[in-house]
Amino acid sequence: MTDDHSIRITVNGTEHELAIEPRRTLADMLRHDLALTGTHVGCEHGICGACTVLVDGLPARSCLMFGVQADGRSVETVEALGTPDALGPLQQAFTDHHGLQCGFCTPGFLMLVTAFLRETPSPSDDEIREVVASNLCRCTGYQGILRAVRAAADAGAGG
Amino acid sequence: MRDAPSGPAAAAPAKAHAGGTPEVPAAGGWIGRSLRRVEDRYLLTGRGSFVGDHQAPGMLHLVLVRSYVASATINAIDASAALRQPGVAAVITAADLAGVAPLRGVLARPEFVATDMPVLAVGRVRHVGEPIAAVLADSAYTAEDAAELVEVSYGELPAVAGVADALAEGAGAVHEAAPDNVLVDVTPVSSPGLDDIFTSAAHVVEVGISTARITAAPLEGRACVAAFDERTGQVVLQTSTQVPHTVRTAVALSLGMDEHQVRVISPDVGGGFGQKCVVAREEVLAAAVARLLRRTVTWVEDRREGLTSGFQAREQFYQVRGAFDATGHLLGLDADIRCDVGAYSCYPVTCGVEVLMAANELPGPYRLRIYRARSRGIATNKTPIAPYRGVSRPQAVLAMERLMDEAGRVTGLGAVEVRDRNLVDAQEFPYRNVMGASYDAGTYRESLARCAELLGHGSWPGVQARALAEGRLLGLGLACFVEPTAYGTASFGMRKMTIVPGYERATLRMDPSGSVIVMAGTHSHGQGHATSYAQIAADALGIDPGRVRLRQGDTELVPHGWGTFASRSIVAGGGAIARASADLAGQLRAIAAHLIEAAPGDVELADGRAQVRGDPATSVPIDELARIAHHAAHLLPDGLGRGLEATAAFDPEGTFSNATHGAIVEVSPDTGGVRLVRYVVVEDCGVMINPMIVDGQVAGGVAQGIGAALFEELPFDESGQPVCGSFVDYLLPTAADLPEFEIHHLCTPTTRTPTGAKGMGEGGTIGAPAAVLNAVNDALAQVGASVGRIPVRPADVVAAIAAAVSRDPVDSRRKTQ
Amino acid sequence: MKPAPFSYHRARSAEEAVSLLAELGDDAKLLAGGQSLVAMMNFRLARPAALVDISRLTGLRYVREHDGELRIGALALHRDLERLADPGVLAGFGMLPRAARYIGHYAIRAAGTFGGSIAHADPAAEWCMAALLFDAQIVARRRGGDRVIPAAGFFRGFLETDLRPDEMIIEVRLPVPRPGAAICEFARRHGDFAIVAAAAAVSSEGGVCRDARVVLGGVAGTAQRAAGAEAALIGSGLGADAIAAAAEEAAAGTDPPGDVHGSAEYRRHLVRVLAARVIEEAAADA
């Protein structure tokens, strides 16, 4: 029975009901079934972290999760953090400190750091570097990302 | 765990360069200011538009059946099981694409052997990952299921796995047209008297360097959506590319269509770094299939494909000899360079791109009159190469900077002094180098001096010795280089390319409300052109950059251009925009002059207004001029207004940035691990349009260069099988592997561009491998060891130290106790 | 890189999970954190016909003490071990949070599970090494009942354990605390799988080593005890010479593989270096 499963999932505060086949990844479900294309797919084996979303508040690599596993759960994606006219504080820090160039890895970093700052609102520089090392960026050399996270933490931008 | 103990290593690091230079009010305005990027708003909020984000109803997903052998004939392809799968619409092979011509990159010169790269393999495969058949289905999942069911019968042939194999007696030919596997063999220079110079020189220094095959690995792989527009007869191809017009040319040529009947759209692109500045066979394939089936077709490259079948780069071997006089001056340079270019020639720059640049650019920033270089591109049964940020310059600088360090050692002058004596000096600019390139003014010696000072080079021996006494191996390495940027058509033409890039044309249009669109043929994929170009135009027009918006990436909309690569955009694109802006500004001044009854030459544009210089009573809003030009043209004499548009082209003469990079490393003698303690860049790219963006480009390039120096490689086994197929084995540097980069700027505006800006995007990757390798060797020299290959793996360090110990047991062991 | 098709079943209890495993047959696999399994499925290196999702069995997510024994529920997350704070537990099992910090990154530690790692049996995995170091007892359940498998016989080969296809790990018990146990590893980048890892615990009485455990990871198909090194330590004074000799024994006792990350010779060299370091650290804290 690789038939479709019916699931209920809350994404960015809105409840959705979907019928999907078990092997459809959470990343593909968010991007193509819910038209939330802000979450990006960079490797499909859980290393680059571009697909990071929050599931029940914890960071999850959505390429390593099946959509059916998110049944009954609450997912947050980058679209929840702000809009082009009203950036969230973490997003503002990223633009202030040139924390992005092509923007492909950026949503994954934003969600990762959002979860991190909620748990650790006053991180040390080493803790920031350790968390930022979770994800890959090929454009920035991480310099702007580290500065942005530092600034966001200092400004109390966690959560 | 960091295997080297932590703690202060050298002198306390200089204050790290803050994020972007603080806004520097430039005279007149916007150039030179670190404005926040326009692009950020939509990228940060997940509103970017990447090709893979596009879904159309009824779209067919294309998944490729790729060769899993390196060299074979294709004896049969059986797609019957695949076609029986529900949801599968078609399986396409070369037999279905009879009318589709292969890609053929050509250098019109006798030393070059042209070969074809077919869109799908025709009877023969030449590398693992070569595409053989395309499965079209209603989802990527189904297409991948069906692709597994396509059966290919191969007649396996012995694989040519590397340069040594390829050049060996009796080696099989990768291409019939090149029986000896040499696709290009150039000796672009051979100065008379070279051999005598070497015979009589006080010192002859020789270095051998090899660099591993690597890949650009942008976070977004390739992606296409191809459709056929029945109404216009156009093929519309959305693709993640750096070069929309070049893709259009290739598709039109392959499909036998007029170029205007092919429309290429490149939306947001998640990194390219050169890998996407050549045309992928999959791009042409998607277009061909869309036209054949009259369906919209999408292909999204996955990471395994990207790492194994996507264009690779930089596998090169250098033997370089330098003749030096008794006072350390470089008298002559002799080089033999071999490049493993893989199985096919990329389009349009060809497999000669690395080969030619290596030989042409090896002398770099050093004074030299006697030079000989032979450079060869050798075909192997491996994935083809294409330009990757820096192209051959990272390797060439690696070789030259090793040579300089060695020369510093044998002459006793040391690393800084030997370079200083040989770097082209300020008084010598413009300097025509031994290859005929004319270097505009730069700061070669000044950047070296500043970098050495920032690293505490003067007190380094003491610092290093104290660490050694504690059993710690520290090393300091330098790399000086010049970065040719924005080659114009003359320079590309000299390579004998049959499609000659180099110019850019920009069109500016002001609308009745006074806002401006800039249409450019370059293609920003992280470089922030929407911001920088707006700054250039806004300065000329006297308006706020927020009123200037960039349109790029649609061949239907923008003037013919060459995309973004070779550090060209701010020079070529920015130059065309500067000229077109000046033209548009002139039109506005003429309209204002007519309305306020002044001479156009007395009118200035600033802060959104036009007025006679020094007479605010005459001030008119520029928006009003725009309105009148469009909606009240009856008020203007013939020849003024009636629209507001300007177009201009710029074909750069070529302008040269320079930098010195310096690295301090700690090498663990136990594990062989290398830790970067400090990394300093002193660079000069002339006028910086947006300093924050410049810093970002340097930082990203340095990170990639460190990756090449310490982490990245794509090994192939003896049967041509790629060993790395995932990010588990292909190691990109993370934030934990890199120190904070200290980036400093000198500024020598160039007279060769309208803005004074030089290109600079590749500098980071060019200097870093050499700085790191030299630092590692500076550390290892203390125990009599050295390494001559990148990436420097921990195992290589351990082996080098062990080899040194076995050569000189007592001395080496004492030093590492 | 999309996975092959499979049927999906969510277990509401451990009993239901093992029932499903029995019904679905050998080609069914358990899905917990998915950090290893789903990546392999995306590459189609693993193609289970059925997945039994046990990630919601929160009753199996615990780390608790029971008469001096540490009992770790199969679904304890890596981060749960990273965050162990009870001083009583840390006194005897402080090596666990230190080991957790080597595992991947923040996001992986928020999803991956202790039991999943043991069942996956990667030779360089920290929890597999810890299982050997602490003489762990692995409690496995199937429809017929539970059995307890000692760690020493549990790891059979590369990614292969003694678990039957219809069995599920419920709990891992570390019966005896080992104060001062240490672990160190060498990887190309922080968070990568170790090229070589070494863990050690020693106890001494009156300046003489009475008991020693040395475990190596990344040198064979499974994590393994370095018996020669242990023998060299027992009865010694744990001085520099003894440690060096033990490290030499540890290296000599391995026949490591070579791959893109390190040759056999280099791995053996790392064993010598890391074994010495970790034994020294363990001896200092003993």
Closest CA to B566 of B688, B652, B442: B652
Closest CA to B403 of B343, B458, B480: B480
Using DSSP bridges, classify how beta strands C69-73 and C63-66 pair: parallel, antiparallel or unpaired: antiparallel
Exposed, middle or buried: residue C204 (CB in 10 Å: 0-12, 13-18, 19+)?
middle
Contacts of C107 in chain A (CB under 8 A): 49, 52, 59-61, 112, 134
Q: What is the pLDDT of residues C169-182, one digit of tens each?
A: 999 999 999 999 99
Q: How many Å from the N-terminal Cα to the C-terminal Cα in chain A?
A: 40
Contacts of B216 in chain A (CB under 8 A): 138
With a cut of 70, which residues of chain B have pLDDT below it? 1-28, 810-817
Question: Does B723 sit within 8 Å of C1, measured CB to CB?
Answer: no
Provide DSSP, B528-564.
-HHHHHHHHHHHHHTS-GGGEEEE-SBTTTSPS---S
Provide DSSP, chain C.
-PPPP-EEEE-SSHHHHHHHHHHH-TTEEEESS-TTHHHHHHTTS---SEEEE-TT-GGG--EEEETTEEEEETT-BHHHHHT---HHHHHHHTHHHHHHTTSS-HHHHTT-BHHHHHHHT-TT-HHHHHHHHTT-EEEEEETTEEEEEEHHHHEEETTEES--TT-EEEEEEE-S--TT-EEEEE-SSTTSPPSEEEEEEEEEETTEEEEEEEEEESSSSS-EE-HHHHHHHTTS---HHHHHHHHHHHHHT-----BTTB-HHHHHHHHHHHHHHHHHHHHHH-
CB burial of C60-78 (b: ≥16 within 10 Å; e: otherwise) equals: bbebeeeeeebbbbbbbbb
Q: Which helix or strand (DSSP H or E) is residue B699 part of?
A: helix B691-710
CB burial of B572-588 (b: ≥16 within 10 Å; e: otherwise) equals: bbbbbbbbbbbebbebb
C107–chain A Cβ distance below 8 A for any pair: yes
pLDDT score recorded for residue B323: 98
- State the count of interchain CB pairs (< 8 A) between B and C: 60
From the list B55, B526, B735, which residue is nearest A101 (CB)? Answer: B526
**Full-model pTM:** 0.96
> By the 8 A CB rule, do B488 and B456 touch?
no
> By the 8 A CB rule, do B572 and B753 touch?
no
CA distance B547 to B538: 8
Question: Does C273 sit within 8 Å of B1, measured CB to CB?
Answer: no
> By the 8 A CB rule, do C183 and C126 touch?
yes
Among B6, B670, B674, B713, the strongest candidate for a mutation testing the C interface, having the largest count of C CBs within 10 A, is B670
Contacts of C261 in chain B (CB under 8 A): 729
Cross-strand pairs, B603: B612
Among B45, B268, B525, the strongest candidate for a mutation testing the A interface, having the largest count of A CBs within 10 A, is B45
Show the DSSP H helices in B321-454 as ranges.
352-361, 393-411, 414-422, 444-454
Contacts of C266 in chain B (CB under 8 A): 672, 794-795, 798-799
Q: Which helix or strand (DSSP H or E) is residue B324 part of?
A: strand B316-324
B303–chain A Cβ distance below 8 A for any pair: yes
CA distance B163 to C261: 23
Helix (H, G, I), strand (E, B) or coil at B658: strand
Beta-carbon contacts of C25 under 8 Å, excluding residues fewer than 6 positions away, are C49, C50, C165
ipTM: 0.98
The total of other beta-carbon atoms located within 10 Å of residue B204's CB is: 18
Among C1, C8, C40, C54, the strongest candidate for a mutation testing the A interface, having the largest count of A CBs within 10 A, is C8
CA distance B732 to B216: 10
Exposed, middle or buried: residue B348 (CB in 10 Å: 0-12, 13-18, 19+)?
buried
Q: What is the pLDDT of residues A106-119, one digit of tens each?
A: 999 999 999 999 99
Q: How many residues does chain C have?
A: 286
- Torsion from C-alpha of C144, C148, C150, C153, nearest 10 degrees: -10
Bond from prior residue into B559 cis (ω within 30 degrees of 0): no
Contacts of B735 in chain A (CB under 8 A): 129, 132-133, 142, 145-146
For chain B, what percentages of helix, strand and coil (3-state, to nearest 5) are there? 35, 25, 40
Residue B514 tokens, joined: 């006074």
pLDDT score recorded for residue C259: 87
Helix B393-411 × helix B414-422 angle, to 10°: 110
Question: Does C102 sit within 8 Å of B795, measured CB to CB?
Answer: no
Helix A106-119 × helix A143-154 angle, to 10°: 30
Using DSSP bridges, classify how beta strands B438-439 and B431-432 pair: parallel, antiparallel or unpaired: antiparallel
A46–chain C Cβ distance below 8 A for any pair: yes
pLDDT score recorded for residue B14: 28
Closest CA to A107 of A73, A146, A70, A81: A81
State the chains in contact with B (3 or more Cβ–Cβ pairs under 8 Å).
A, C
Q: Which residue of A has its CA nearest to B40?
A: A95
Residue C190 banded pLDDT, cuts 50, 70, 90: confident
> By the 8 A CB rule, do C162 and C153 touch?
yes
CA distance B69 to B134: 17
pLDDT score recorded for residue B519: 98
Bond from prior residue into B348 cis (ω within 30 degrees of 0): yes
Closest CA to A79 of A42, A30, A113: A30
- Strands (DSSP E) found in B561-716: 603-606, 609-612, 615-621, 645-650, 655-667, 674-684
3-state helix/strand/coil string of chain A: CCCCEEEEEEECCEEEEEEECCCCEHHHHHHHHCCCCCCCCCCCCCCCCCCEEEECCEEEEHHHCEHHHHCCCEEECHHHCCECCECCHHHHHHHHCCCCCCCCCHHHHHHHHHHHHHHCCCCCHHHHHHHHCCCCCCCCCCHHHHHHHHHHHHCCCCC
Provide DSSP, B27-42.
TTBSTT--PPPTTHHH
Residue A56 banded pLDDT, cuts 50, 70, 90: very high
Question: Does B732 sit within 8 Å of A139, measured CB to CB?
Answer: no
> By the 8 A CB rule, do B433 and B368 touch?
yes
Contacts of A32 in chain B (CB under 8 A): 55
Mean pLDDT of C116-126: 96
C66–chain B Cβ distance below 8 A for any pair: no
The total of other beta-carbon atoms located within 10 Å of residue B496's CB is: 17
